[in-house]
Structures are given as structure tokens and as C-alpha cells.
Chain A
């Protein structure tokens, strides 16, 4: 039995889009962080995490997401989540994550929300 989280990603302009699939615990969180940091190093300004294939994020996983958020904030970038289950949404709001990261219903909304306005 393994519920390990799989993470995939792609770059769309200055936004890196990450998809998770599975349980986000310490390993899942670290996998997300690796992928996210790699995109930030390559110049991504904003990250969108689509969690539609994740039903549980434990507090260790969330603590790693907070580290990712911190890294993004240090770079004056933006972090957005989308595809959250009601429970994950509620948990993020309980923790106050919604004050620092944006939460959207759909991926398209999230990408639009974090994209830099064009002149």
C-alpha cells in the first residue's frame, strides 16, 4: 500500500502550474517543494497548486507548503491553490493560509489571478 503523492508540473509564461495526485504528507510535501523551488530557480514568479486529485493534506504536508509560501513571498511572487476539497479548503482557512495565498475554485481562475497584468 502506498498513498505517495505524485507531482507533475508545467510552465505557462511566468506561472508554474503544479498538479498533485495523492496524499500530501512529508514526502508529498517535499516532492511539491522540490518541484516548486526548481521552477522558482528557473524564473517562475507565481505558482499555482492544483490539488484536485488530493483528498488529504496532513499538517506536516501543510508545514512544507508554508515553507514554499515563505520562499514565494521572499521573492515577491504569488502562490495560489485551486481544486481544493471542502475539507482542505476549510483546513487552509483555519490556519490562515488564505491571508497569504490565494484560493480559487478553478485552475483557469487561479492562473488568471496570479498572472501579471499585461500593459
Chain B
């Protein structure tokens, strides 16, 4: 049986490589998802600190969805992509899709620790952490749910 070509396709070939998975809305499932980030990050030698940043951003995206999205299918749909820019820079991208009620992300204000200390509410840091740790973040939301797309360059 012929497989064609002399080597398996690598990242040098064009187009992203992707892995998809769904996780149930359940405690600590976000940690299951971070294993993919470790594996794919190591695959492109992203570096431990950058891998940790992607893992934390993913954890925040997952727990935001677990808590607020109201996922109709009780699942989060995750896609991990590896790619390379024309200039040669490699990247790891994570897409977190929920089929929940959606939200107006433009109306989410920047949190402040000063306000946290003065009030009972200490939360609301998820999006800020994601935006600060990732190189690019794109959020789209509607009645169909919410999609967070975040990318880290090597």
C-alpha cells in the first residue's frame, strides 16, 4: 500500500494542523483540556512558560463558560490548531466554543483589585487574564453561543 511522499506531513507543509475534542461541563474538566496544550506546545517547542500561559488562558475560558454560558448541550467544544505564518513564525491557537446564551463582551469592564478589595465581589478577571496572557484574542458571541479564539506565537 502506498502512502505517497517520503515523509509524514509536518508543520513545514501548508495549512494548520488541528485536534478537536469536547469536554463535559464538570469540575476540573478544564485541566483535562490543558493536557492538549502541553502536548501540542511541546510539539512545536513553544517553551514551558508560554505553554503555561496558554494553559491558564484555556482554563479561564473554560471556567467562564462553565459558570456563565448555560451550555445547552452541557459540553464545551475545543479545537487546538498549530500553524505557521508566511514569515515562518509558528503558533498555537485554541478555540473554545460553547452553545450557550452568549454575552455582550464589549460591556464587560476591566476589573480592578482596588474595587475587589472594597466589595464582596472578587471575581470578573477571566477575560482580562486571557487577553493579557495571549498574543491575539478574538471573541464572538450571539444567540448561538460564544467562541473565543486565542493564539500564542512561538
Whether the pair B56, A91 counts as a contact (CB closer than 8 A) is yes
Cβ-closest chain B residue relative to A27: B27
Are B28's CB and A94's CB within 8 A?
A: no
Docked-complex contact A90 and B133, CB < 8 angstroms: yes
B60 touches A (CB below 8 Å): yes
Which DSSP category, helix, strand, loop or mixed, fits chain B's interface? helix
Query: Which chain B residues numbered 79 to 121 have a C-beta less than 8 Å away from chain A?
Result: 111-114, 116-117
Q: Shortest distance in angstroms between B94's beta carbon and chain A's nearest beta carbon?
A: 15
Which of chain B's residues have a CB closer than 8 A to the CB of A107? none
Q: Mark A64-101, 1 if CB is under 8 A from B, else 0.
A: 10110110010000000000011100110011110110
Q: Is the CB of A60 within 8 A of B123?
A: yes
Q: Which of A7-15, A41-49, A51-59, A108-116 contacts B (4 or more CB under 8 A)?
A: A51-59
B74 at the interface (CB under 8 A from A): no
Binding site for A on B (CB under 8 A): 28, 30-32, 34, 49, 52-53, 55-56, 59-60, 63, 111-114, 116-117, 122-123, 125-126, 128-129, 132-133
Task: Report 21 cross-chain contacts, Cβ distance below 8 Å, ordered by A residue.
Answer: A3-B28, A23-B28, A25-B28, A56-B52, A56-B55, A59-B60, A59-B125, A59-B129, A60-B123, A62-B125, A64-B122, A66-B116, A67-B122, A86-B49, A86-B52, A91-B56, A91-B129, A91-B133, A95-B113, A95-B129, A100-B113
- Residues in A lying within 8 Å of B, measured CB to CB: 1-3, 23, 25, 55-60, 62-64, 66-67, 69-70, 73, 85-87, 90-91, 94-97, 99-100
